[in-house]
Homo-oligomer: A and B are copies of this chain.
Amino acid sequence: MKSVKDLLSQYNADFELIESAMKKHFSSHVPLVNEVSEHILFSGGKRLRPLLAVISSRLCGRNEDILFDLSIVPEYLHAASLLHDDVIDEGLLRRGKEPAYKVWGNKAAVLAGDYLYARAIDLASQFGDTRIAEAISKTVAFMAEGEIIQLLEIDNPSYSEEIYDDIIFRKTASLISCSCKIGALFANGSEEEIRALEDYGRNLGMAFQIVDDLLDFTADEKDLGKRLGTDLAEGKVTLPILTALKNGPRDDTERLKSILVKKSSDPKDLEWVRYMLLKSGSLDYSYGRAKNCIDHALKCLEPFDNSKEKELFHELALFVLKRKM
């Protein structure tokens, strides 16, 4: 069986077409908007959302050059949401690297994000299919709501797993799901095909975010390319923490809460939390949740005939569980 990297390398021609479409459409009348947009659009994104749209369309039997123009819509939305997520909140700083708001100010970052949202929606509206426009505006609403719920709940140690699911669906999975859905809509897929690809994307996205939250505790720092425990240092309550707080013995959960409250970046605290998450079965439980999502994603592919596109989607789903960064 081929590795994901080998499989993806078969799509280099597609990635190039995606890249040209990315460059063709973002251009604004205002140089500063272009500068901010370039900063966020061309900083090494993997373009997986555009690829999902392209492959989804092909799975439903349509493959045209104009598809690449549609495929970049979710990538523009993603970039816009990154610009807005990075807006500094009342002087609170996060992360190490220089986000757009630090270079150009909050206001320019917000307005450039608005511009990218508008360009994305304008591009999508040119396909003359209001189902596409509707899917996209609903996704933008989900993403904004997801970020707000996260803002409200993320350091509340007693929020429920349902709320966690709701947050990661809205802020991460909804856009991945939308990427697949608009590909299927573009191809005029059957209702079953559209629903299957939408579900595939949702489950892929949910699993992706759960694994992301797990890697903050379980990865090898060299693979991950950043320090472990960054969520912990922000006091962020993700699925492993949530599970440990619900199921761990009282002494442990009290200590965990105090580490969260002080937003600790002490390596000893991280070491203890990793051990506690392992011991309480929280890591296993979280990984099991991700695996369930992937099982579901794979089921969504069953109705489609065998093809290299189906094989790619299959491998991508399995890769989400195996990734180390």
Binding site for B on A (CB under 8 A): 28-30, 32-33, 81, 84-85, 87-90, 105-108, 110-112, 114-115, 117-119, 121-122, 125-130, 133-134, 136-138, 140-141, 143-145, 147-149, 151-152
Interface core residue of A81, A133, A143, A151 (most chain B CB under 10 Å): A133
Instruction: Collect the chain B residues with CB atoms within 8 Å of residue A152's CB.
Output: 30, 32
Contact A115 B88, beta carbon cutoff 8 Å: no
Q: Contacts A122-B134, A133-B125: A144 and B114 contacting too (C-beta < 8 A)?
A: yes
A121 pairs with B137, CB closer than 8 A: yes
Nearest B residue to A83 via CB reads: B110
> Given B87, B88, B107, B138, which contacts A122 in the complex, CB threshold below 8 Å?
B138
Hey, which chain B residues are within 8 Å of A129, CB to CB?
Answer: 130
- Are the C-beta atoms of B110 and A87 separated by less than 8 Å? yes
With A126-B130, A126-B134 in contact, is A108–B144 under 8 Å at CB?
no
Closest B residue by C-beta to A142? B118
Residues of B within 8 A of A137 (CB): 118-119, 121-122, 125
- Let me know if B33 and A145 touch, CB within 8 A: yes
Protomer copies: 2
Minimum distance in angstroms from A275 CB to a CB of chain B: 34
The residue that A130 contacts in the complex, of B112, B115, B125, with Cβ under 8 A, is B125
Output the least CB separation between A36 and chain B (Å).
9
CB-nearest residue of chain B relative to A86?
B107
Q: How far is the CA of A141 from the CA of B87 in the complex (A)?
A: 19
Which chain B positions have C-beta within 8 A of A85?
A: 107
A140–B125 Cα distance when bound, in Å, is 13
| A85 and B28 alpha carbons, distance in the complex (Å) | 19
User: What B residues does A88 contact at CB under 8 A?
Assistant: 106-107
Closest to A121 in B: B137
Q: Are A106 and B89 in contact (CB under 8 A)?
A: yes
* Minimal beta-carbon separation of A193 from chain B (angstroms): 22
CB distance from A268 to the nearest CB of B (A): 32
Would you give 10 A-B contacts (Cβ < 8 Å), ordered by A? Answer: A33-B148, A85-B107, A88-B106, A90-B105, A90-B106, A111-B144, A118-B137, A119-B137, A125-B130, A126-B134
**List of B residues within 8 angstroms of A105 by Cβ:** 89-90
Separation of A128 and B149 alpha carbons in the complex (Å):
31
Closest residue on chain B to residue A84 by CB atoms: B110
Q: Which residues in B have their C-beta under 8 angstroms from that of A136?
A: 121
Task: Output the nearest chain B residue to A80 by Cβ-Cβ distance.
Answer: B114
Cα A28 to Cα B81 in complex, Å, equals 18
Q: Specify which chain B residues have a CB less than 8 angstroms from the CB of A126 in the assembled complex.
A: 130, 134
A235 smallest CB distance to B (angstroms): 16
Cβ distance A171 to chain B, nearest Cβ, rounded Å: 10
Given A89-B105, A89-B108, 6 extra CB contacts under 8 A: A84-B114, A114-B140, A114-B141, A115-B145, A118-B140, A129-B130
Contacts A118-B138, A121-B133, A125-B133 hold; do A148 and B30 have CB atoms under 8 A apart? yes
Chain B residues with CB under 8 Å of A106's CB are 87-90, 106
